[in-house]
Amino acid sequence: MRVALIEQAAAMLVAREPVTLRALAGRVGTSTMAVYTHFDGMPGLWGAVRQEGFARLARGLAEVSPSDDPVRDLAALGAAYAANAVENPALYRAMFDAAADLPDPGAAGAGFAVLVDAAQRAVDAGRFVAADPAAVATRFWAAGHGVLLLVLSGVLPDEALDEHSPALAAAVFTAAGDDPERCAASVRAGWAGL
Amino acid sequence: MRVALIEQAAAMLVAREPVTLRALAGRVGTSTMAVYTHFDGMPGLWGAVRQEGFARLARGLAEVSPSDDPVRDLAALGAAYAANAVENPALYRAMFDAAADLPDPGAAGAGFAVLVDAAQRAVDAGRFVAADPAAVATRFWAAGHGVLLLVLSGVLPDEALDEHSPALAAAVFTAAGDDPERCAASVRAGWAGL
DNA sequence: CCACGTTACATAACGCTGCTATATCTAGCG
DNA sequence: CGCTAGATATAGCAGCGTTATGTAACGTGG
């Protein structure tokens, strides 16, 4: 019942339908009380939906297999992140509406840890010289998040994602110390996996 | 009446109070019908509020006086942009909830034009070599937007703004061709005007 | 100066929302 | 088998945005 409600809510979210208590209960063939026994109301359900969104995101990032080029891996992770957001734009926007108070913040941290790990490998490989892996990951994430939200909210056209995301990634990576040309090649390779 | 409703709605937004039709009408001492005669309903009011938000933002950016260092000016514009968002976080978030369909999109474009103009001056001054001013401005904007939203939504701590925004700005500007050291100094100078 | 039509505001009611109190049903276990 | 605890169904609440209707104020042409 829990999973049915969460998945139905997520489905209605991606279908751009208004996720209302009665409509949700009707879709899964139960009554409105189910939301209260399992989630203690709509805010609880939203929390669970956001949680599921971050879980799917972490799952998508985990599918990116590491290579011997950590910068390529970072770019590939960015591409997977963007793909996940573009496939379910409404879910992605809902995730960050109240991402601060997640039922289990660890799920969001797991996805971020993959980024930090790749950045750490880039440091170990001598690509990022004297750079803080967490800071690089954060800046890479923030830049991608900004482009994504501007595109998803319709401020920037869809093409802006492919036009600006790799450039921003390369800018962050070269600022971390990577060689510009080598970085450009790695980013190109990583982003192509989209 | 129009301005009273808009300003009251913006005030309730920054006060984190729920902006409800009856509460809004009660605050300005009128009835609910005023919102319908002037804005044709709540969505229209939200559009006007977002418009006012972008107008205030453009006003804040216009107060940044250009200097002989265009890269410093870009950083200063970024600082003013961030300051505006931090001062009214709820308004900033509301602005981009449906920024695509603004009553008058020109207002948002005016603020962006200031960024593009500074980037153009950087190109003319030889700081940004062979870079598209609009692309640089867009990337700078997107990166700042991402950091801001992550901070405003509580995902990143407040310190992250000062820690990552200048670094991202410098990364974007050096990627545009500016000299790293000179760029770092300009960004430092521009960001200090916060 | 007055009657007019238009505009802005007040009032009441409708349908919908999330939520809760109550009742019913459905296992699980001694 | 009978009992207890948990989950589901039903009905109703206050609140929301919206609308229909009524009323007062305004500017304008005769």
Measure B67 CA to nearest chain A CA, in Å.
25
Mean model confidence pLDDT for chain B: 95
Q: In the prediction, which pLDDT does A105 show?
A: 84
Q: Could you tell me the sign of the dihedral formed by the alpha carbons of B160, B16, B2, B97, in that order?
A: positive
Nucleotides of D under 7 A from a protein CB: 6-11, 15-21
Q: Which parts of chain A sit beneath pLDDT 50? A: none
**Looking at this protein, which amino acid is placed at residue B147?**
V
Q: Taking 80 as the threshold, does the pLDDT of residue B124 lie above it?
A: yes
Of A142, A164, A174, the CB nearest to B168: A142
In sequence order, the 6+-apart residues with CB closer than 8 A to the CB of B34 are B1, B5, B25, B28
Euclidean distance between CA atoms B162 and A33, whole angstroms: 46
A-B contacts at Cβ under 8 angstroms: 105
Distance separating alpha carbons of residues A84 and A61, to the nearest angstrom: 9
Nearest Cβ partner for A164 among B138, B144, B148: B138
Which residues fall within 8 angstroms of residue B74, CB to CB, at 6 or more apart?
B115, B118, B119, B122, B140, B169, B173, B190
pLDDT of B101: 84
- Residue A107: the pLDDT is 84
pLDDT tens readout for residues B136-153: 999 999 999 999 999 999
pLDDT score of B106: 86
A174 in B contact zone (CB under 8 Å): yes
What pLDDT is recorded for position B194?
A: 58
CB atoms within 10 A of CB B67: 14
Query: In chain B, what is the greatest distance between 2 CA atoms, to the nearest angstrom?
Result: 59
Give yes or no for residue B127 having a pLDDT over 70: yes
pLDDT for residue B105: 83
- B187, burial (CB in 10 Å: exposed 0-12, middle 13-18, buried 19+): buried
Distance CA A155, CA A157 (A): 7
Per-residue confidence at B130, pLDDT binned at 50, 70, 90? Answer: confident
Q: Which residues touch strand D (CB under 7 A)?
A: A 1, 29-34, 36-38; B 18-23, 32-33, 35-36, 41-43
Q: How close A30 gets to chain B, by Cα (Å)?
A: 31
User: Could you give the C-alpha distances from A6 to A14, A42, A50, in angstroms and in order?
Assistant: 12, 11, 9
Question: CA of A155: which chain B residue's CA is closest?
Answer: B100
Side chain identity, residue B179: D
CB contacts of B147 in chain A (<8 Å) are 142, 146
Sign of the alpha-carbon dihedral angle for B118, B121, B123, B128 = negative
Q: Are B99 and B50 in contact (CB under 8 A)?
A: yes
Shortest Cα distance, chain B CAs vs residue A19, angstroms:
17
- Locate the chain A residue with the closest alpha carbon to B165: A139
Nearest nucleotide (C1') to alpha carbon of B40 = D18
Per the model's pLDDT, the better-predicted residue between B171 and B1 turns out to be B171
State pLDDT tens for residues B68-84.
999 999 999 999 999 99
Name residues whose C-beta falls within 8 Å of residue B7's C-beta, 6 or more positions apart in sequence.
B52
The model's pLDDT over B43-52, given as tens digits with 9 standing for 90+, comes to 999 999 999 9
The per-residue pLDDT for A194 is 58
Q: What percent of chain B has pLDDT over 90?
A: 92
- On chain A, the residues whose CB falls within 8 A of the CB of B46 are none
Q: Are B167 and A139 within 8 A, CB to CB?
A: yes
Q: Which residues have Cβ atoms closer than 7 angstroms to strand C? A: A 18-23, 32-33, 35-36, 41-43; B 1, 25, 29-34, 37-38
Of B142, B155, B174, the CB nearest to A143: B142
Q: Of the candidates A97, A155, A168, which has its C-beta nearest B100's C-beta? A: A155
